[in-house]
A and B are shown apart, each in its own frame.
Chain A
Amino acid sequence: MKLSRHMAPLLLATLVAVSAPVCAQTVPAPAPDTTASASNAGATPLAGDAVYKAFHGEEGIQRIMDDFIVRITTDPRIKDRFANANLARLKLLLVQQVSYLIGGPQTYTGRDMKTTHEGMGLQNGDFNALAEDLQLSMDKEGVPFRAQNKLLAKLAPMEHQIVPR
């Protein structure tokens, strides 16, 4: 997609303020190894647990991610991206990340978004395809649309770190 690079000035990337979230209070001690910091989750968590409850808590998030893993690994648009992925670990981290972001008790223990996706050559459309699959999984769990958007609003800015400009 050289043409598109050509079309899209890098202007945007320079102006996007990537907020560096401070270590959340739920983390007992700031780990010296940043790869194990909750700030790697890519956004600050929502206040309160209303959205966490709307996701039906831990069990709901587990069900959503079980469904989601199936969707993304069979979605013809993006399944190849997961050809070499450790799906069990991926699911574990997704549950942690979502739980953390929507006010649940879990802490994200994975690497940050930029490091995780570096060198994958991901595109705008890959990110959106994943988001659509997540919407379908949240629909299946019966998460109300408004609550879904609270999570998506946390995930959306990660596009700037996941998709290289």
Chain B
Amino acid sequence: MTHRSHLALGGAMFGAALAFTVAADAAPLLDQGKLLLTGGVTNVEGAAGGGIATWATITGYGTNDGIGGNVHATYADVRDYRLTDYGAAVGLYNRVELSYARQDFDTRSVGPKLGLPQGYTFSQDVYGAKLRVIGDLVYDQDSLLPQISVGLQHKEESDKLHVIRSHAFGIRSASGTDYYVAATKLFLDQSLLVNATVRYTKANQGGLLGFGGPKSNDYKPQFEGSVGYLLSKKLVVGAEYRTKPDNVGLKENDWYDLYAAYALNKHVSVTLAYANLGDIATFKNQDGVYLSLQAGF
């Protein structure tokens, strides 16, 4: 698929959503009925979650009887690299989530040192689908049952020179699919949210550096953990941790972040984080600021 057709896909998703709204009159399908922030925010892979972790929540403010969606733009500026990310996601009946995200990873002045042109940008398209299997984040306060979802994220490199596709660095594939199970529990009486996700993946740096490598080309389970403390209806602060495999043998590090997500209302939210991505392709201590804006309907 070309980049243009990806955008068209996103557009079609929203077109369909709008068509649904026009068709309904009494109870609008775009009901905006979910409680504030209870769908999570859009994460770096375009799925509902935190910043670097994917949660079991279904994106948007649609209830069990409605749909919701949003677009996002994310910017992460770490020591030697810069990540920009934009995309769209829809949540259907608080049951199914479909998402698309485009990630552009600018190697800036590091490019030439890796044998790449100055400012060479690795790009990746991430197509996500998520199904809520059991549990309700908000209502299940009388049991320990979390909201549990399963999902997949298909990722495809799409940068100009197809560096990954040419199997540089011994990378095995330019595309891959991650599979995950996510469990998110809101302990409302403690104003606390906890998430644990297991992701089966071959991805290097989340897929930005392809899939598999000289060291390994097998699926390995990785962990994504998040905690969030609700300071108000509009504001949640927390931390996340995400483990990653080391398939290439470049000592790939785990990621972590400290975040604050603020919902101005059900249409606009902002996530600000300190993100630490560890060493990336031999360049040390890639930490910096992560900023994500989300607009929804």
Contact = CB atoms under 8 A, between A and B. Distances in A.
Interface in B24-69: 27, 31, 33-35, 63-66
A82 interface: no
A1 to B, nearest CB: 5
Given A146-B191, A149-B230, A157 B35 contact: no
B232 A145 contact: yes
Contact of A156 (B139, B145, B231): B139
A156 B34 CA distance: 13
Interface in B90-109: 92-96
Interface residue tally on A, bucketed by range: 20 to 34
Nearest to B137: A156
- Which one of B92, B135, B136, B145 has the highest number of Cβ atoms from chain A below 10 Å of its Cβ? B136
A152 B191 CA distance: 10
B92 A7 contact: yes
Given A4-B93, A8-B95, A153 B188 contact: yes
Nearest to A126: B33
Contacts of B79: none
A35 interface: no
Interface residues of B, number: 33
Contacts of B191: 145-146, 149
A149 B93 contact: no
Contact of A125 (B65, B96, B135, B232): B65
Contacts of B66: 4, 125
A31 B215 CA distance: 71
B230 A124 contact: no
A10 B232 CA distance: 33
B139 A7 contact: no
A1 B230 CA distance: 32
A11 interface: yes
A157 B65 contact: no
A123 B232 CA distance: 25
B143 A4 contact: no
Contacts of B190: 149
Contact of B145 (A15, A19, A124, A131): A15
Interface in B105-154: 134-136, 138-143, 145
A19 B142 contact: yes
B233 interface: yes
Interface in A1-43: 1, 3-4, 7-8, 11-12, 15-19, 43
Given A12-B134, A18-B142, A145-B231, 17 more contacts: A4-B66, A8-B93, A8-B94, A8-B95, A43-B142, A123-B27, A123-B64, A124-B64, A125-B27, A125-B66, A128-B33, A128-B35, A145-B232, A149-B190, A152-B188, A157-B143, A159-B138
23 contacts: A7-B92, A7-B93, A7-B95, A12-B135, A15-B134, A17-B142, A123-B27, A124-B94, A125-B31, A125-B65, A128-B33, A131-B35, A145-B191, A145-B230, A145-B233, A146-B191, A149-B191, A149-B230, A150-B189, A156-B138, A157-B140, A157-B143, A160-B139
